[in-house]
Amino acid sequence: MPPDTMMTSPSATTRPVVAGFFEKRTFSVQYVVSDPVTKRCAIIDPVHDFDEKSGATSTESADELLAYIEHEGLTLEWILDTHPHADHFSAAGYLNAKTGVPTAIGAGVVKVQRLWKALYNLPDDFPTDGSQWDHLFEAGETFKIGSLDASVMFSPGHTLCSITYVIGDAAFVHDTLFHPDIGTARADFPGGDARALWHSIEAIMALPDATRIFVGHDYPPETRGPAWESTVAEQRADNEHLHPFEEAAFVAKREERDATLPMPKLILHSLQVNIRGGHLPPPESNGKRYLKIPLDALDPAPWD
């Protein structure tokens, strides 16, 4: 395994072992979070590889997670998504089919399904009840990964249904915060809201200072390699979007920046997969699967 694609946080009985896998095509970070006592683990935000130029799909990134789990002698208990991603396909459906392990996401996903069902003009019988996942987490809900205590924080703003998983001393925030030198997530997607994002960040910043923050993407400058771990204290001190730490200033800064950003190149490809729980569209009469790209469906944004 190349040294820049996977890093493991130090093991200790009082906190989870976190292995991060950087997927270079979409700058995404996938995680395997494990209990060092029971060797039970969860996968968070797995990537199903997709090449938009050829339409080819691959499970190489997701299979890397399974290989790590096998190598470490872990037992997989959960396949977790933080939200329906706009820049890559979720591999939750593939991993569920391969392992039989339950999938989960936040209960607010039904709002995202209804929104994007309309944008894609999907058939009336397309379910928008979250039934594509095995479990929908409510805000404040708790669960276990082995002996590790885990809980769910609702973190809307980037999307209507983004959540943060707090597992031991680690918080998986995906597109709410980025590494401190990158800033915070955009809030201009359908259903996004900069003010809601501020309140989500404020709640995360109220966690203990030593809480480890794990982000879902990194867009490293030339001066460093990929990085995805920081702490609440480091985010407060160094995240350029959080100075001053004040709602109105953050909202103004976030909305001004969002107005300059093009839409992610895979947003229209990804959402129709990810509102299906990471399952690819069903095969048509010829056995092939097809994506549906609505034209002029999103609010105007700068072109690349």
Query: What domains appear along the chain, each with residue ranges and CATH number?
Result: 11-268 (3.60.15.10)
Residue 304's pLDDT is 81
Residue 14's pLDDT is 66
Burial (CB < 10 A; 0-12, 13-18, 19+), residue 251, is middle
Beta-bridge partner residues of 20: 7, 31
Burial (CB < 10 A; 0-12, 13-18, 19+), residue 60, is exposed
pTM: 0.94
Helix, coil or strand: residue 7: strand
How many whole angstroms separate alpha carbon 69 and alpha carbon 134?
21
- Preceding omega of 244 cis (within 30 degrees of 0): yes
Q: Which of these, 106, 107, 125, 126, lies nearest to 116 by C-alpha position?
A: 126
CA dihedral 176, 157, 240, 205 (to 10 degrees): -70
Residue 200's pLDDT is 98
How many whole angstroms separate alpha carbon 213 and alpha carbon 121?
37
Retrieve residue 118's tokens.
């309309």
Beta-bridge partner residues of 150: 143, 167
| Residue type at 292 in one-letter notation | K
89-90 and 103-106 strand pairing: unpaired
Helix, coil or strand: residue 103: strand
Residue 64's pLDDT is 98
Residue 3's pLDDT is 36
Element (DSSP H or E) covering residue 77: strand 75-80
Instruction: Walk along the chain (304 residues) in steps of 10 and give the mean pLDDT of each run.
Output: 42 77 96 97 98 97 98 98 97 98 98 97 97 98 96 96 97 96 95 97 97 96 95 96 95 96 95 98 96 93 88
Q: Which residue has the tokens 């490809």?
A: 269
